[in-house]
Amino acid sequence: MASSWAERAIEIDKVADKKALEVDHVSHSFGRLVALDDVSLSVDQGRFLALLGVNGAGKTTLFSLITRLYDNVTGAIRVDGYDVRRQPEPALARLGVLFQSIALDRDLTVRQNLAYHAALHGLPRSLARKTAEIMIEQVGLTGKMDSRVSTLSGGQMRRADIARALLHRPRLLLLDEPTVGLDVQSRLEVNALLRELAGREGVAVVWATHLLDEVQPGDQVAILHHGRIRRSGVAADIAGEASLEDAFLKLTSSTPEPAT
């Protein structure tokens, strides 16, 4: 039975250094439009990655592939070590997502929304209730549990949505431009809140954005342009002497926009 011991050793090794997210040579096209071209990136457990790109760079397509809205045709995507195509259930179980549009039902109360999303992940009711209370407190909406979502401000809605995305204790949080449409104050708050919560819970974060002021110098950054990763590394290194904005503009203006 030596082989099984060896196998187990390998398996243990794998678990020890499995990444929160691994995107491995993924390409995807819609008809003739190549949306992603041989994209590879990885995020360590509990780390933060800013995925920068202008509109149409392929951020949303990449997220759609990770969340299995489309199937990745080439390459592999693993969440916490689970291949999203071959083992979608454990992979999705480890995933929390904030979409561009708020996922909450405006007609229902915060409590009802959270109960529904907890149910979508199979949480027992008592656990769901307890976790909802804790999360709502952590996002600073205590006392808003029984307010209807439509009565909340934009920033409050987003915070409730954050509580929703973290309810089932994901290992990886995907954020698809979550601060678009918020005022400056709310944007800063949401950014700080997400970083704090992710840090406390040890959740890895992939933050897709085109707003460069959301990136901190120490963040891991990947710059996506026309479906390709143009640069990746620590924000401060990419910026070099100049600002990150200059580096970003330089990288993303070198190739002309394709006709769409």
Partner 1 sequence: MNRRKAEKGAGSGAGFVELGWPGRLRALRGIVWREVLRFARQRERFLSALVRPLVWLFIFAAGFRSVLGLSITPPYETYVLYEVYVTPGLCAMIQLFSGMQSSLSMVYDRETGAMRSFLVSPYPRWFLLGSKLLAGVAVSIVQVVVFLFIAWLWGIDPPVMGYLTVLPALVLTGMMLGSMGLFLSSAIRQLENFAGIMNFVIFPMFFASSALYPLWRMQESSTLLYDICRLNPFTYAVELIRFALYGQVNWTALLVVFGATVLFFGAAVYAYDPSKGLIGRRR
Residue ranges binding partner 1 (CB under 8 A): 30-31, 45, 67-71, 85, 88-95, 97, 99-105, 107-108, 112, 115-125, 127, 131, 161, 164-165, 167-171, 202
Distances (CA, A) of 130 to 118, 167, 199: 11, 10, 21
- Cβ 240 vs Cβ 247: under 8 Å: yes
d(CA 225, CA 59): 9
Nearer Cβ to partner 1 (94/225): 94
Give the shortest CB-124-to-partner 1 separation in angstroms: 7
Nearer Cβ to partner 1 (102/229): 102
Nearer Cβ to partner 1 (116/249): 116
Strand partners of residue 205 = 48, 173
Nearer Cβ to partner 1 (67/252): 67
Angle between helices 154-166 and 110-120 (to 10 degrees): 30
Nearer Cβ to partner 1 (119/242): 119
Give the shortest CB-103-to-partner 1 separation in angstroms: 4
Nearer Cβ to partner 1 (115/221): 115
Give the shortest CB-246-to-partner 1 separation in angstroms: 33
Give the shortest CB-89-to-partner 1 separation in angstroms: 5
Nearer Cβ to partner 1 (103/249): 103
Residue from 251, 248, 177 nearest 214 by CA: 177
Distances (CA, A) of 112 to 109, 125, 147, 148, 205: 5, 12, 10, 9, 26
- Cβ 129 vs Cβ 115: under 8 Å: yes
Nearer Cβ to partner 1 (39/239): 39
Give the shortest CB-241-to-partner 1 separation in angstroms: 40
